[in-house]
Amino acid sequence: MTDVGDLVAVADTAAAAGRALLRRPSLHDVALHAGVSHQTVSRVINDRPNVSPDTRARVQAAIDALGYRRNAAARILATNRSQTLGLMVQGEPRLGPASTMLGVAAAARDAGRYVSLAVVAEPSEQATTETLEYFRDQAVEGIVVIAPVADIVEVARAAASPSVPVVVVAAGERPRPGFFVASVDQQLGAALATRHLLELGHADVVHVTGPLDWHDAVERVHGWRAERAAWGLPERDPLVADWTSAAGYRIGRRLLAHAASGDPVDALPTAIFAANDQLALGLLRAFDEAGVEVPGRVSIVGYDDIEGADYFTPPLTTVRQPFEELGKTCIELLLAGMSAKAAGEVPERSAKVAPTLVVRATTAPPPRAQPPARRSRGSRR
């Protein structure tokens, strides 16, 4: 063919806009316009050496004049590299995952990659597999899985093809070759919360946990356990709940009821670490209704620092997670994995970002202890 000659003749005389309606300019059009070969144009747009400054300028001018942009599909086809990363999230719009998503997307774009988003509604094996196929069809070069629930990780891990690195955002997973793990250090966060309470002089800290099929929940339990052990406290079980305020409230009521029953073993604890802010809110409400003072009688630490936590009654001491940083970390791991793969290595790595404690007004020394001259007696209450 073709009428490319005509096209370019038009382009030379008419405005670029006029042509755009006809067809987007190709490398070839630019080449004709600049009086060079398409390969030279390719060299210019890819910033390759061995092009004279003069030619480079002329080509650049032609590019600008025609409003040329490289065709991504053609490039992908020719290079067999899609420049695309898959981002898979489970369909639960909690704030953390959402923020992580945005962090991932932003970091990916900074790295010059496209991001393909896929939502998997239920954490079933089938849904996960379908999603991975969806990504495979796009020839994504890496996948980020934001998977708060354990099952989904298992499937992702199993289905991950060896050639495509996967970063999973999930605390507590072990990295494997080609399978990276990024997470907020939930153990640290939980330890921070627990330590804060212990340092205030509390004899013990109770933990109200989220559902135990969530990684984050399990890790927070670990962190709490470890910190208590470090202070020489005996083993004890957490109170298992879910993430809702209703559950927090229910547990608060139960605690109050047991304490009222008079059994000293079941006395109302002086310090509670809740696995998220909603739980803390439910506890707060239960205690408020019962006239139990926070933090006078019992101290509470939450987790997440949700919007508004600073205006709970009282403002909540909690743990804040650096989600954007987490997103960035995901991409870093992925890119590292990709280039390592290209170099023939198959590394395994994990990375954690550190949460921070935000002290507000739900924590104070226990009723009868005096933290300045710290000296906790064996007895409690």
- Does 311 help bind its own copies (rule: CB under 8 A)? yes
Reported as type and span, the H/E element at residue 217 is helix 215-230
Question: Cis bond leading into 93, ω under 30°?
Answer: no
Q: How far apart are CA 187 and CA 223, in angstroms?
A: 4
Piece in contact with its own copies (CB under 8 A), picked from 135-143, 256-264, 332-340, 361-369: 135-143
Q: How far apart are CA 206 and CA 199, in angstroms?
A: 15
Token readout for 52 is 């004279």
Cβ proximity to its own copies: between 131 and 187 the closer is 131
Q: How far apart are CA 305 and CA 374, in angstroms?
A: 29
CB 348 within 8 A of CB 180: yes
Helix ranges restricted to H, 35-117: 38-45, 53-66, 72-79, 95-110
| Identified binder of DNA from the candidate list 19, 43, 195, 215, rule CB under 7 A | 43
- Does 24 help bind DNA (rule: CB under 7 A)? yes
Closest contact distance (angstroms) between CB of 99 and DNA is 34
CB 111 within 8 A of CB 83: no
- Does 342 help bind DNA (rule: CB under 7 A)? no
Cβ proximity to its own copies: between 61 and 72 the closer is 72
Site string for its own copies, 92-121 (x = CB under 8 A): -xxx--xx-xx--xx--x----xxxxxx-x
The C-alpha torsion from 121 through 164 and 331 to 178, rounded to 10°, is: 110
Cβ proximity to DNA: between 39 and 356 the closer is 39
Site string for DNA, 63-102 (x = CB under 7 A): -----xxxx--xx-xxxx----------------------
Closest contact distance (angstroms) between CB of 36 and DNA is 4
CB 58 within 8 A of CB 66: no
Pick from 264, 266, 265, 295: nearest CA to 363: 295
Q: How far apart are CA 351 and CA 36, in angstroms?
A: 48
- Does 36 help bind DNA (rule: CB under 7 A)? yes
| Beta-carbon contacts of residue 21 (< 8 Å; ≥ 6 apart) | none
- Does 139 help bind its own copies (rule: CB under 8 A)? yes
Closest contact distance (angstroms) between CB of 86 and DNA is 19
- Does 246 help bind its own copies (rule: CB under 8 A)? yes
- Does 52 help bind DNA (rule: CB under 7 A)? yes
Piece in contact with its own copies (CB under 8 A), picked from 33-41, 214-222, 226-234, 302-310: 302-310
Instruction: Provide the binding-site residues for DNA, judged by CB under 7 A.
Output: 1-2, 23-24, 26-28, 35-40, 42-43, 45-46, 49-52, 54-56, 68-71, 74-75, 77-80
